[in-house]
Structure 1
Amino acid sequence: MTTHLDRRTVISTLVLASLIGCSRSAKAATIDGRTFQGDGTGEGLRAQSDLTIRNSRFLNLGNGGIRVNVATDGLVVEQIEARNLYRFLENTASDRSKPASLTNFKLRGITGDDIRRAMTRIRYRSRDGLIEDVIARAGENTERYCTGFVLDDEARAIIYRRCEAHGFAERGRSSSDYWNGDGFSDERGNTAIQYLNCIATGSTDGGFDLKSTDVRLTNCVAKDNKRNFRFWGDGEVENCRSEDPRSRGGSGRPSHFSFHGSSTRYVIDRPIVRSSSGNDAPVFLFDNDTPANIEIRNADIDAPGAPLFRVENSEPNITWVPAREDQNIKTAE
């Protein structure tokens, strides 16, 4: 069955959801094998607790192929094709006095193409979520501040596993502006976020632009972003790989790892850095208001055309384990 949507018939989706039992009292309700299609605007459907959505398509929709507009627990979304959406999953409350937190949720096996703003935006006090095997590819007509995966407010204890974000690049800004556009972002107030085996490429700002505390990245890859890994909070980065950062325009120097803010504290364990001989983006760029505290362990760095460090503000406190001369580091200076 195909459900066709436009701005005049969004209400039909809400009625459809209620008719198939998408309510708190109807446990384990399922939407299976449906297509939700619009004219580039409007929502697909609104999530409710204990709902599973699987084997479905979301095409040509606006801000929310799926929208979480009330507190929602136990949502499962799996095996989905999405194409030409402003956002696939949007988390915005209908009543501002009642946060629409998303808890104990799973998003897995989802592919999004031609995404204009974000694949997912999750906020409020959302928690205990798994986002697994989700691929987001930006389209040619991205919006400003486009980002593959977004966390905001006080979201916590969320795991990204084998997720990918490609091509989230701003266009049309002045060359004097800072160009945004990230693969993955989280904000101050987010805690205990994990990125496991994730990939970010082709962003005009950060591949991973992370302001959260107690963050952990393991086996992640960032390539061809202006700043492959951009860190503001604290956490641990284990066996992550950075390749050939590149600026596509705007202000700000490209780098492999950049550090910002006033309370930055990270362990960088077994970083792998690879750059061509003509790439002079610094491996570690420090633009902190107060000294960053960084421990670098067992680095494997081959960036023959680049400096190891560039300090644009406060001098960092760096600990080497083992000593710097005993790590595998090849840079221009």
Structure 2
Amino acid sequence: MYSPRPPSLRALLPVPLAAALALACGGDDGQAGESGGSEEAEADIGASESESESSGSESESGESEADSSASSESDSESESGGVELGPAVLRVNVGGPAVGDFIADDAQGSAYLASPDTQPFTLDSVSPDASVPEDLPLDVLLSGRREPAALEGGTGQLRYAFPVEPGTYQLRLHFSGEAPEGAAAQLVVDGLAVGDPLSLTALTAGGSAATVVHEITAEAWLDIELIRTPYAAMPQLSAIELFGEGSLRDGPAGARFHITTAGGGDGSSLDSPASLAQLPSLLAAAAPGDEIWIHAGDEDYAVSSELSLSGAGTQDLPVVIRGVGPSGWHDPGRPRIVGTRADPWTPEGDTGNTIFRVQAGADHLHFANLELQNAGNGAWRVAGPVAGLHIERVIATNVHRLLEDYAGGGNEDASMTGLVLEDISVRGYARAVARITDDSSQILIEDVFGDSQAQQYSAFSTGLTFYETAHDATVRRAVMLNHQQLDVDGYWNADGFSSESGNYGLHFEDTYAAGNTDGGYDLKSIETLLTRAVAADNKRNFRFWGEGEFVDCLGLDPNKRGGSGTQAQVHVNPGASLVVTGSRFVDASAGTIVFDVDGDGVGVVEGGCVEFVGELQTVEEGGSLMLVGVDEGCSSF
């Protein structure tokens, strides 16, 4: 007989998951019945169309302040951890104010910070160990950054991006602030793992501080990431030093165009900046490798109609639309673009306008470091086939959708090839973070956080939706919370992640879904793989209709908030074929079914464990469920 879960479950779970469950409580479209969420038609694409949904060179001299102050020193004779250091290039007091040659990083719009949800922390005191250089100002160890406790089901990544001359550098990282038990992170530089995973718990034990040094090779943008190991606590960091013979770059190799809130010039310089309304013409004039800088300032950019974007870069030389500080990309600042969506949102309110309409053939556009507020059905709307769309370092609040993929303007298809969404945080939306449709493929969605905040609308929300025949996508370290369809008759829909029967080749890795009134994962796709996916506090944590495999996944405490349908950890629907290996399912509610198989669904569960007080399984006539080596109790996992 299976034993019920002990009352001290959270002591058995990884720290971040226990914290996330405590804070995640609260959650695409479809018919009101238990159909699994096919999308309904809606006419909120934009004011210009009514469409229903279906099933200038500038040369600037001088180094940046950070570069000139840091590179005045030379540490070429010193060694740290056996690595000989070159001249100082840059020093960053992570999460803290400027200290000596260390530049400040205590603002949300810090110049080089790429992870939108990390927050500063401060310490009263610190005890440096022998690895910390004697000449390091100890004040830089009294601050740092990590994702807050509210996101400890979250993306688990801390990233900085520095514009440097390509070459060899020495990277010195400083850690302080006692990390939780089991905190560990992999250092990744320009996409490649460097060294073994770091035990942040050991480095900061007892309130100590420690230093780690690596020699690295940098590309033109030096990406430094600390990525937590699976189920570990959040990574943290207190200071960054970069040494070497190279230097910071003050701009791209191509031309720069400038946009400010007071602009009206030709955009060729900050002395003659353009307005945001001129972005389409600047983009049309831009050559591959050029950048258009939208400068942050004291005022927001108000946009009441969509900006129609044509023009293109190349795979090696995209055209970049980049938010920068008042003077450039070394300054802190993130420009905020504000649309017309009702704020505060009500279901009867104005859905608002699209901000960026990406036209067919507008290939290899790269958007970075922007804040969007009050946007309509697509802060970005892709209206025709495009390749290489890349959106990163974005914060959005109160949007209908962040990314809408819907053909228009005479196009019958809006397939996206090579889409990248990364380092994005979206809070407050009624439809989705992103809908990916048509024959879109080669997709990467990484370190994306979405919290619908239970916004209501005539059609329900889903965090991330794959539709039509979209395929070959990797979703990594994405978090989707609180998609909820409330107080309706019959079945309550709204999911964290969803796919349809035409989708295939989808891989969800280290993802998290919680607080949704239907599925954490509601997947009809084939060739579907979930690796270390976590679902908590959803009516049906994992709801599967297609063909695929779950590996090392975790289901916690399903929660039916209302409507019809069962409360379950794993719901296998008619026609589904699912293999679950090495996974854990833990729950203390008598109303929960661990494995719920409908119709002729087939499920095989190998290894892993269950803890429950409700029913282990229900299998309808014609269905099949095989449990092989599933442990009673999860305390040993």
Q: Does the alignment pair 1:23 with 2:311? A: yes
Aligned equivalent of 1:38: 339
Q: Secondary structure at the match of 1:200?
A: strand
Pair 1:127–1:178, CA change in 2 (3 A): same
Matched residue, 1:158 = 473
Segments of 4+ moved more than 4 angstroms: 1-4, 10-17, 19-22
Tell me the amino acid that sits aligned with residue 133 of structure 1: D
Change (3 A) 1:131 1:224: same
1:298 alignment counterpart: 607
> Which aligned pairs between 1:32-181 and structure 2 lie closer than 5 A?
32-33=322-323, 34-40=335-341, 41-47=352-358, 48-95=362-409, 97-143=411-457, 144-174=459-489, 177-181=490-494
Q: Find the counterpart in structure 1 of residue 548 from structure 2.
A: 235
The equivalent residue for 1:219 is: 532
Q: 1:233-256: per-residue Cα shift (whole Å, max 9, x none)?
A: 111100110011111111111100
Paired position in structure 2 for 1:285: 596
**Structure 2 residue matching 1:179: 3-state secondary structure:** coil
Q: Do the aligned partners of residues 11 and 142 (structure 1) sit closer, same or farther apart at CA in structure 2, a change above 3 Å counting?
A: farther
Deviation at 1:46, TM superposition (A): 2.1
Pairwise CA distance, 1:318: 2.9
CA distance in 2: counterparts of 1:69 and 1:210, whole angstroms = 26
CA displacement at 1:320 relative to structure 2: 3.5
Q: 1:111, 1:244 → 2: CA distance?
A: 25
The DSSP-based 3-state class of the residue aligned with 1:310 is strand
1:256 corresponds, among 548, 562, 569, to 569
Matched, 1:184 2:492: no
Q: Which 10-residue stretch deviates more, 10-19 or 29-38?
A: 10-19
Which secondary structure state, in structure 1, belongs to the residue aligned with residue 442 of structure 2?
strand
In 2 relative to 1, CA 317–200 (structure 1 residues): closer, same or farther, beyond 3 Å? same
Q: Distance in 1 between matches of 2:597 and 2:410?
A: 38
Query: TM-score normalized by structure 2?
Result: 0.47
The alpha-carbon deviation at position 14 of structure 1 amounts to 4.7
Q: Please state whether the residue corresponding to 2:592 is helix, strand or coil.
A: coil
Matched with 1:321 is 628
Say if 1:261 and 1:162 are closer, same or farther in 2 by CA, change over 3 A.
Answer: same
1:253 and 1:16, CA in 2 relative to 1: closer, same or farther beyond 3 A?
Answer: farther
Q: What is the match of residue 102 of structure 2?
A: none
Q: Give the match's secondary structure for 1:23.
A: coil
Question: Which range moves more in the overlay, 94-103 or 69-78?
Answer: 94-103
Q: Aligned pair count?
A: 315
In structure 2, the CA distance between the partners of 1:62 and 1:122, relative to structure 1 (3 Å rule), is: same
Deviation of 1:283 after TM superposition, in Å, equals 0.2
1:189-240 deviation digits (Å, cap 9, x = unpaired) = 0001000000000001000000000100000110000000000011110011
Please, which moves more after superposition, 182-191 or 28-37?
28-37
AA in 1 matched with 2:407: A
Residues 3, 117 of structure 1: alpha-carbon distance in 2 compared, 3 angstrom cutoff: farther
Q: Is the 8 A contact 2:496 2:514 kept in 1?
A: yes
| Contact 1:63–1:85 (8 Å) recurs in 2 | yes
Q: Does the aligned pair in 1 maintain the 2:455–2:483 contact within 8 Å?
A: no
Q: Which has the higher contact order (CA 8 A, sep 6+)?
A: 2
Equivalent-residue separation in structure 1 for 2:624 and 2:597 (angstroms)? 11
Unaligned runs of 5+ in 2: 1-258, 263-275, 288-309, 324-334, 342-351
Q: Which one has a larger percent strand, Structure 1 or Structure 2?
A: 1
Deviation for aligned residue 1:266 = 1.2
1:12-62 deviations in Å (ceiling 9; x for gaps): 665565465651367511111143211211011123311000001111110
Whole-Å Cα distance in 1 between the matches of residues 379 and 487 of structure 2? 26
The answer on whether the counterparts of 2:384 and 2:411 sit within 8 Å (CA) in structure 1 is no
Gaps of 5+ in 1: 5-9
Provide, for residues 242-286 of structure 1, a one-character-per-residue CA deviation record: whole Å limited to 9, x for no partner. Answer: 011111111111100001122x1111001201112x343100111
For residues 2 and 225 of structure 1, the distance between their equivalents in structure 2, rounded to whole angstroms, comes to 44
- Does the residue aligned with 1:189 lie in a helix, a strand or coil? coil
Deviations 1:80-123 (A, max 9, x none): 00110000000001146530100012100000001111000000
Q: Quick one: distance in 2 between partners of 1:172 and 1:15? A: 47
- Per the alignment, residue 275 of structure 1 pairs with 587
Query: Is the 2:516–2:539 contact (alpha carbons within 8 Å) kept by the matching residues of 1?
Result: yes
Q: Secondary structure at the match of 1:308?
A: strand
Q: Classify 1:13/1:211 alpha carbon distance in 2 versus 1 (closer, same or farther; 3 Å).
A: farther
Is contact 1:180-1:205 (8 Å) kept? yes
- Residue 7 (structure 1) aligns with: none
Q: What is the deviation of 1:142?
A: 2.5
- Quote the residue 2:119 is aligned against: none
Q: Verify the 8 A CA contact 2:499 2:522 in the aligned structure 1.
A: yes
Relative to structure 1, the CA distance from residue 281 to residue 66 in structure 2 (aligned partners, 3 Å threshold; closer, same or farther) is same
Distance 1:60 1:242, change over 3 A: same
CA contact (8 A) 2:473 2:505 kept: yes
